Structure 1
Amino acid sequence: MTRQERTAWLFSAPVLAIIVLVFIVPTALAMALSVTDYSIYALADWSNLRFVGLGNFADLLSTPLFWRALGNTALFAVLGVPMAIGTSLAVALLLNDVTVHWKPLWRVLLFAPYVTSVVATAVVWRFLFNERFGLINRALNAVGVTPIDWLGNPATSIPAILIFVTWKIFGYNMIVFTAALSAVPQDLMEAARLDGAGLWGRFRHVTLPAIGPTLLLAAVMSVAGFLQIFAEPYVMTLGGPAQSTTTVLYFMFDEGFKWWNLGQASAVAFILFLMILALTIVQTRIGRRYEWL
């Protein structure tokens, strides 16, 4: 190797070592555990560890709660991704307007929820959604709406959590979209305006193609994030009511750290990894089809 190449490897070595230690090695171990019956008994005595092959995966496919968790997770993603991206893009478009004043202040205020503790904010929102003394129900009661048991009703538990999650994370995508919108060529916008294109026409034919790669990145990150949702239902509903907010990651947590069935939990983690990988590949191909990559 040349001197420059040796120097590059030298400076890259610490980061590569961290990636290997905290990502590659744990991932490999989890994949190995997924084909065993590793449990609290094997934790106490390795002689109790047995190789079960695809047995853990077969058991998951015959477990109703796993399918319920999978359906809940899919519902979170299907409803949450459009909410998060749509809200972020709408706010970014508003902040991109030249008539808006105090833009830096608004960006800081709207980005602040993203950097706050998810557990602390989830506790606050759990009280906001409280049926008896929550501020949301008090506001609804003031306009004549009957108080809603947001977190105690299976029909409203997921929408309530989605409202909180959207509020919590939309600031990150908003900042990313704001940066992308600032790079949209203004000469193209002016040309479209002179050609008679309206507000929607300029957005559809100029803005949207220009921010396509950023939109694709936000979609990939949002899908992966919603498929891994855990802390919000854990703090706000404990997976209830009637398991209506039990997600795949919540199910994996219970299997691994409540029942100490670590082999089964590793199988769940591997399935979730394959789901995220498959959806990422699909989204990337869609991005290439629309020339966003």
Structure 2
Amino acid sequence: MTGWPFKNMAAWKEPVIWVCGGVVVFALWLGLTFPYEALHTRVIGELQRRTGIEVHAAYWTVGFPLALEWRHVTVSKAGWAPVELGAMRARLGVLQALTGGVALDLTAQLDAQSPAKGTVSSTVTAPSWSLTGPLTVTGNIKQIDLSKLVGQYVSRGTLTGEFTQRLDTLPAASPASFGEGTWRMDVKDLSLDEVPVGNGRTLSLAVNTLSVGLSCREQICTVTELKGDGIDGSLSGEGTIAVQLPVQQSQLALSLTVIPGAGFAAKAGSLGIPPLPPGTPFTFKVQGTLARARLAL
């Protein structure tokens, strides 16, 4: 009967050391000789060619392992308001690259000095750099300040979430193709101010927590979950969002039902809403764009 081949570890010690040493040397060689300049040109070039988005950075550096880092980044596109980012990082999957595929870990930070918040991280996988086959993007959103992302009516709010999106091919600069995917988002401490509701009236709402779920196919995202609560009451909703680029121009077609709380009672009169008994729900429509939403009572 043959004994266990690793019983005499002393006999295997030297070969194992040589193998480990070879792997370390190969990793160092790969890291030192990898064509980072070509990778930088390819990533930025493919992004601009396929989407029309331009990325300008004050400077870029090499990260480890096989990563690129951009600092003080401006992302722009014709018809967009430029987006300022503190930093971006792209890390290449080695095994996929050696087999001709693409696996990129991408991270964008609103503030380079606060990596723990204001961050969007995603992993992009595709069968080749041509990006003509199925493209999958998965990621998460960590503590994004909504007042900086949405703007006009949002004075406060922190967004976290996760998403998965699959595209048959990355869209070129002109036609919009968003594939299909799911998004799950949570907002804390949301404050909406001076949202127009018609006849010169405006509405302000405070929401402690808001949960949103979306199921998207091409440009239409269907609301699968929408609920929140706060001092002004609780709300639920349904409807669709027609996604546009930039995202602030996405079209809203939502129906929201609010059960007024103590904070809302004082606002009802100014909105032309008759006093409602506690716990009485009322429904209104949300239309317009994400940046310029309007309410219809």
* Superposition TM-score tier, normalisation by shorter sequence: under 0.3
RCO comparison, higher one (Cα < 8 Å, 6+): 1
More strand by share: 2
What is the TM-score when the length of structure 1 is the normalising length?
0.21
The structure that has the greater radius of gyration is 2
What is the TM-score when the length of structure 2 is the normalising length?
0.21
More helix by share: 1
